Structure formats: C-alpha cells, structure tokens
Amino acid sequence: MTLAQGDTSRRPNVVMIMVDDAGLMDFAPFGGEAHMPNIQKLADEGTRFTGYRTSPLCAPSRAMFLTGIDNHRTGIASIPEVLPKEHEGKPGYSMVLEPGVKTIADRLRDSGYRTYMTGKWHLGEKVSDLPVSHGFDRSFALAASGADNWEQRPYMPYYETAPWFEDDQPATLPEDFYSSKFIVDKMMEYIGDEDHEGNKPFLAYLAFQAIHVPIQAPREFTEHYEGVYDQGWHALREARWQKAQSLGLIPEGVPLAEMPEQLREWDQLTDQERRYYSKAMAVNAGMLEAMDHHVGRFMAWLASRGELDNTIFVVTSDNGPEFNDVIHSPGVDLWFATSGYRHDIETMGEKGSLVSIGPEWALAGASPSNLFKFHSTDGGIRVPLIIAGPKMPKGQIQKSLSMVTDIVPTVLDYLQIPSDAGIETGSVSITGRSLKPVINGEAEHIYGPDDAVAIEVAGNAALFKGQYKLTRNLPAYGDGQWRLYDLGKDPGETQDISEANPAVFEELMADYKVYTEDFGVLEMPEGYNAVDQIMSNIVRKMLASNWFLISIGIGLLFLAVVFTYRRIRA
C-alpha cells in the first residue's frame, strides 16, 4: 500500500518534520551520502522541491515554518545569540512570537485537530512563549538553539543548562536519552495517550536536533561512513557539484564558486587532522541516518494503526550546514576544558563527545551552492523540501521557487481550511502562498517573473525576482556588498552581474527597499559581525548569570591586594 491509497474518509493527519542544519544535498533523495530509506520513501511518494528557500538561521525559519508569516512580523527577525543591543525590544525583534501571530497548531486545533510538538523549539522559554501557549495540546520542547543529544547539558557557554520543558513545566531527560529516538518516542506516547478522543486527526511537529552542533550519533550508524570522507572536503564538494548536474539540480556546466581564502586546504592538514575531520563528517552522516531510522519507526507505528496512508508529510531543514567549529572557536577553549567534553577520534559522536564539522565541510556540504548557514547565499538558504500525502501526485520534482512561508498555506489548502478560519480580528496575516497548484500540476509556478520575494536575517538578505537574485552577506564570510546573480545561468553565485545590468540591479534594490519598509527590517549596526556578536552576547550572559560569584571574586582579589600592600609597607 502506498501513501496515496489509504482510507481518506477522515481528514488527513499532518506530520511536519524539521531537520536542523542540513543542506540540499545532505538528504539522500537529493544526492547525499547518508542512508535515508524512510525519507527517500516519502520523496518517492510525493514531491521534491529543488527551488525551495528558507532563512539562513534556525529560529526565523522555524517561526515562518509554523506560521506562514515573514519572520519580522512574527517577532523572530533573528536569533538571540546574534542579536545586537540596538535591536533588542524593537518591533519584530522581541525574539518571541508576538501578539496576533498564529501557528499552524492554533489554526488546526481550532478546526478540531489534536496538536503535538516534540524537539527543538527555540522560540522562547517563558510559559507564554512555549508551544503549549501557541496551539499545541502537548509538547516536550528544547527552548535553546541546541543541546547535547545524549544527556541534559549545554553545548556552548551561552547556556547554563539545556532548557527542556514538558508542556509548561521544566523537564528532566531520561537516562537512556538520545535526541532522535526520544523525540519520536515522546510523539508516539502523546498521540497514543489521546486515543480516547476518537476519530480526531492530529498534527505532529517533530523538530529534530540532527544535524545541529554537537554532531553525535550511536556508533552503529557512524561506522557505516568510516572512510567515506577520507578524500577530504575538496573531493566531496566536487562530487556533489557533479552529481547535482546529473540529477538536474543545476544546469550542466555551470561554475562552482571558489573556496573562501580563509578556509584550509585538505592536503595541508596533518594526518591526525585529516583523520579527525574525516571522522567528524562520518558522524554527521551517521546522525542523519539515525534520525531517518527513528522517522522510519514513527512511520511504521502509524502504519500499524492504519494512519500512515491518511497523513500529509512535510520534511525540510531550517537552513544550510553549520560552519562554526565549536571546539576551535576563539574564547571557547577555557569553557571546553572545564565542561568535561572530549573530542578524541575513537569515541567521536558518542556520549561525552562534542564535535562539529567546521567551515570547510560545511562549504562542501552546501555544494553546489556557495557558503553556508548564517549567509543568504544559496548555501545558507537552499535546502530540501518534500511534501507527500493522500491524493497527491507521486515521484515529482518541482523546480520553481518556493519559500518557507508557503508551507502553512499549502497544508491549510489541502485540508480545505481557510487561512482566516477561527482567527480573530487583529491577527497577523499569512504572507506565504499555497504550493498546491504546482504540486497538482495546475500551475508552473506560484511566483511569477514580476513577483519580488525577499528574506532578511541579521543583515544577510536575498531577494528573488524571475531568474535574478539580489543578495548581501555580512562578515565573517561576506563583505556587506550588494550583488546580482542570474540563477538560471549561475546558481553557484559566482559572477556578480550588477554592473552589466544596472537597470535590473536598481529595480531589485527598489523592491528590497519596499520589503524593508513593509516588514519593518532594521539595518545592522556599523561593523556588525555575527561571530563577534555571539562572543559578545556569551560574555554578557555569563556576567549576568554569574554576577554574585564574580563579585565575590573581585572582593577577594581586592582584599588580597590590600593585604599584600600592607605587608610590603610593613
């Protein structure tokens, strides 16, 4: 039985799966190395979107994914970790879902659905900001940007702990915790516990930590990729670029962008370093396979209950690959030394290990696109999207432009729920468009050649119009300059054509100005750098949370100086 052949007399269930920091070709259905048979099945039974764009950072993407509303209107214009002081508290920059913003859970619950969420939330940790206050009947949510996948501990010094919540209460993780397994187990528990509600359909939002830092996976998955990445990041980047052409993800013969000058050459590493980074990428692939394995358990469980064939699935990633190499980041050395984490090669990815892939692998993972997470080049925002479900065409590949804000209106359209159903006056309107016409073959695209579609996060911005893309990227890997690309001829964004096409450039710049005015986009402070801002915010948060101990330390130091001075004078 296929997904499209089940009993559809009841309204379909909806399963929304968010993977963390996976680029377009990290997914097996888009050419990746990781073994992902269950997500491959969903791709084969539904539509793969190869022209889909999201935002370059996690929380803004998640806010748009859950609401269908541009991130600046949701309140999640950026993420707290990179927010400059100048933007704190400004409209759209509250870092929580603001009044009038309704999630898909709000909308489906008002239409008779049971609603559940498990996994990474990252949209606030006050009770008023947690999933339970935004339409979800039950939830087990991580309020931070990430956390350890084996136990309840933070992965960077910005956080004192790993803030998990069940419904509206702080929660403690079980001893046998592994994030992907637990997220699925808890979802099955919630859905199963509510069977007494009879024939009501459900919304299940599974927000996995895979493959966010720290990359961690059981050894039995990581072992599948031993040696796969021994040729290094240049080889992988080239291989994915070639495969992207053969799969039709990019046209034949289009160029691949040069590597940034500050990135390392594989053959200049020591043997030990090459072993380390090859194993790190093996863990990365193993973590994807482990996640897919548990998605498969969930699908099998739904099938055993007769639910699988009457369920709409949406599977995507929040942004491109993570480039921060956490254990080698400036200023983190002392925290790492005192945190108890290790990064030896033998046990990499297992309990107690903290590791990340770094910028070179992130660039290779984002191939054939340029750069990676944080940036509005396609390496940061072009990610996989799969939509499958009852009465949908099977095995399609859809190349037209689609955006993260289009997910909610698409689901509502298939469920025949008006976008304003149950929504009171004063609510924020959906800004995305339904993809149902392109899925069903009723239209070639939902954004025409004259439609300007823009995104912005932390100063990194992109605007799409026809075959053109206008984009700006800030340091550390951008220079803040606006550039124009013809994505039809140059999807790798290698040749800035703004000088050769001044009229197009000015037209798109004017479109972007309209966007910033309509959506309340704030300009970044002079000299802003996201990596520097993270470090600044970490220091501020550590000082604020440890002021008492710091005061004692300063007092003891003062007394020691006075005592020493008096002894010298004596």
Q: What is the 3-state secondary structure (H, E, C) of 347-389?
A: CCCCCCECCCCHHHHHHHHHCCCCCCCCCCCHHHHECCEEEEC
Give the Cα separation of 342 and 150 in Å (integer): 14
- The DSSP output letter for 141 is E
Q: From edge to edge, which strands make up the β-sheet containing 169-170? A: 169-170, 164-166, 138-142, 114-120, 202-207, 13-19, 311-317, 385-388, 47-49, 396-398
User: 189 by DSSP, 3-state: which?
Assistant: helix
Q: Which residues pair with 53 in a beta bridge?
A: 382, 403
- How deeply is 459 buried, as exposed, middle or buried, from its count of CB atoms within 10 A (0-12, 13-18, 19+)? buried
Q: Strand 468-472: give its sheet, edge to edge.
A: 453-457, 460-465, 468-472, 482-486
H/E stretch holding 313 reads strand 311-317
Which listed residue (58, 134, 212, 294) is catalytic? 58
Smallest CA-to-CA distance from 482 within 471, 496, 497, 490 is with: 471
Are 95 and 125 contacting, i.e. CB atoms less than 8 angstroms apart?
no
58 has catalytic annotation: yes
Cβ count within 10 A of residue 366: 30
Backbone φ and ψ of 239, nearest 5°:
-65, -45
Distance CA 510, CA 507 (A): 5
Question: CB-based contacts of 462: which residues, under 8 Å, 6+ apart?
Answer: 53, 376, 381, 454, 455, 456, 469, 470, 471
Q: What is the DSSP letter of 78?
A: S
How far is the C-alpha of 398 from the C-alpha of 378, rounded, in Å?
Answer: 17
Q: How far is Cα 82 from Cα 532, in angstroms, rounded to an integer? A: 9
The helix/strand/coil state of 526 is: coil
First to last CA, the chain: 92
Peptide bond into 214 cis (omega under 30): yes
Q: Where are the beta strands (DSSP E) in 173-280?
A: 202-207
β-sheet bridge partners, residue 472:
461, 482
- Out of 87, 122, 212, 293, which one is annotated catalytic? 122
Could you count the other beta carbons within 10 Å of the beta carbon of residue 450?
8
328: annotated active-site residue: no
Pull the structure tokens for residue 264: 């390392």
Q: How far apart are CA 544 and CA 556, in angstroms?
A: 19
Rounded CA-CA distance 80/76 in Å is 9
Q: What phi and psi values does residue 14 have, to the nearest 5 degrees?
A: -130, 125
Show which residues are catalytic. 58, 122
